[in-house]
Each structure stands twice: as structure tokens, then as C-alpha cells.
Copies of this chain bind each other. A is one copy, B any other.
Amino acid sequence: MHILITGAAGMIGRKLTERLIREGGLNNKPISKLTLADIVTPPAPSGFAGEVDLWTCDLSSPDEARKIVSGAPNVIFHLAAVVSGEAEADFDKGYRINLDGTRGLLEALRQSGGGERTKFIFTSSVAVFGAPFPPTIEDEFHLTPLTSYGTQKAIGELLLADYTRRGLIDGVGIRLPTICVRPGKPNKAASGFFSSIIREPLIGEEAVLPVPETVRHTHASPRSAVGFLVHAASLTREALGPRVNLTMPGVSCTVGEQIDALRRTAGERVAARIRREPDQTITQIVGGWPMRLGGQRAQALGFRAETTFEEILRAHIEDELAGRIAA
């Protein structure tokens, strides 16, 4: 089996690559070849006996898209995207990478004639939803994104469904909730605090909480995100039906519940490293985000996330900290 991952140099791309190599197969078939593509050269994976192709390319170029699918991958994980903040700041770049890039890849596949034999897993986002929201966003809630990023993802979903309906690919779209705890350094994303209030205290550093503890949000761990991708690749067309885009499950909890979980797992001294510094702007931005995602259909189709924030926390401690906490 030949697997192509776009956006392979990103956090999820690297973790997905590691898992695929660790398991050695996908859908009970051995992996013979990995094509890893990104705008920066993806790291060469270790421990993989098969063929590896590393691509540095801009997928929004139709030529590059054609070249990359010419190796006839059986499964494509399309993770490449310009993130929310950048797509908002740079209108042209966002549409070029997120819309034209996705469409170009789908077109290249249509022209290559792989048809339903090519599994295409598209990572969408809960940014396809836009306030005002009901208390829980159910599977039939409409998509009215309030960012260009969300718009581009929603368009990608529509294209994915139409190309699949016409038998040009075998597509699955998965709307990821906020990934938490995101490893690495703090960043300037408005959502950054959801991860940093956990990640920094656990390594002995201070974190800033800019919103009230009552703020509610839905999270899944990086481990779950990778699990969603792998599970998506196993779904049959019959099981999925024509509605190929699915809201993933996650843990809906308040910031206060996140902190309680941290306190219970790592102790009061760790939890005390969170400094409250209310920020009106961030509070307002976060207020426009979904609080609770139903994800009923995805769960019925076998997608599994953590069920408590403590599980998310333990996944982080195991996967990123080798079990060590800076008490």
C-alpha cells in the first residue's frame, strides 16, 4: 500500500507518519511506500523499511499536484493548509492554498483516473461553523463560517462530497475539534491558551489564562486526531453514504474543568502556575466559537476521542513528557 500525506511536516502529519510506521500497515495491508509532501521538506522518517519519497512542493500548482498523484497513492491524507490566522491576514494565499490547492489535488486525481480506488481523507475543522450557535452543534447544523479559513474548509468539504458522489475519489472529510494539548512552544493563536495552561505548568513554567474559567470548548488530543485519520481510512463507501463530512467527537469541558483535571493529576503546585490575566479581545473571539459538538454520526461510525479531560492530559504526559511532570 502506497500512502501520500500532504502537510507531512506539520504536527499532525509527523505524528500520523510515526503511527503508520509503528503499525506497519493500514486497513490490514502492509505499507510499501510513503510519500511525504509539504511546503518545507518533511523530516525523513526513521524505522520504515519501505520506500520513502520526500517532496518539497506547493500543491496549489496544478503541475505539482499532477506529479504528486502520478505515483498512484492508494490512500491520501490531505492535511496541508494555511492556518486560520494566516488565511485571514493573506486573502490570496489562503484561497490559493486551501481552496485551489485542495481542488487541484482533486482534479489531478480525477484526471489520473484512480476513481473510487483512491481513498482521500480531508482534514476539515470546526471553523466551518459560525456563531450564533445552539448549546450543542448537531450533525445537521448548517455551515456559516466567520473566517476565510472556515469558508475554504467548507468549500473543500463540498468538493470532496461531489467528487465522491461522482465516483472520482473515495472521500472522507473529518472536522477536527481544537487539538489539545498541542505540543511545542506557546504561539499567538487566540486558542493557544487552551493548551498552554496545561503544557507550561507541567514543565515548570507559568501560563496565562486570558478568559473566565466558565468558557466551554470541545477538545481532542493529538493522539485522537491521528486516530480519527486512521479510522477514516477504514470506512467503506456503504457505511459512510453520501454525507461524507463528519464532525469528530471530543471532550466538551470548561476551562475550570481543565484546571481541575490538571490539579487532580499533577497537584496544586502545578495548577498554581496558571496566572489569570483577563483579555477582553481573546474572550470575545473565543465567545464566537462552538462550545459543544454533538459528533453523533462519527461516534456511530466508530470514531473515538477521549471522554474526559483527564484522559487528554494523561495522553499528553505519556506522549510528550515520557510520563514526567515538573512537580
Q: Identify which of B134, B141, B155, B243 contacts A158 (C-beta below 8 A).
A: B155
Interface residues of A in 147-180 (CB under 8 A from B): 148, 151, 154-155, 158-159, 161-162, 165-166
Complex CA distance for A155 and B160, rounded to whole angstroms: 12
Complex CA distance for A116 and B141, rounded to whole angstroms: 29
Q: Which residues of B contact A158 (CB under 8 A)?
A: 143, 145, 151, 154-155, 158
Known A155-B155, A242-B130; judge A162-B148 contact (CB<8 A).
yes
Known A140-B141, A141-B140, A166-B91; judge A242-B146 contact (CB<8 A).
yes
Q: Is A142 among interface residues, defined by CB-CB distance under 8 A?
A: yes
Q: Which residues of B contact A139 (CB under 8 A)?
A: 142
CB pair B162 A145 closer than 8 Å: yes
CB pair B144 A142 closer than 8 Å: no
CB pair B91 A144 closer than 8 Å: no
Q: Which residues of B contact A159 (CB under 8 A)?
A: 151, 155
Q: Nearest CB to that of A153 among chain B residues?
A: B158
Q: Which residues of B contact A141 (CB under 8 A)?
A: 140, 142
Known A91-B166, A140-B141, A141-B140; judge A151-B161 contact (CB<8 A).
yes
Q: Could you name 22 residue pairs across A and B whose Cβ atoms are closer than 8 Å?
A: A91-B166, A130-B243, A134-B140, A140-B141, A140-B142, A141-B142, A142-B143, A143-B158, A144-B161, A144-B242, A144-B243, A145-B158, A145-B161, A145-B162, A146-B242, A148-B166, A151-B158, A151-B159, A151-B161, A151-B162, A154-B158, A158-B158
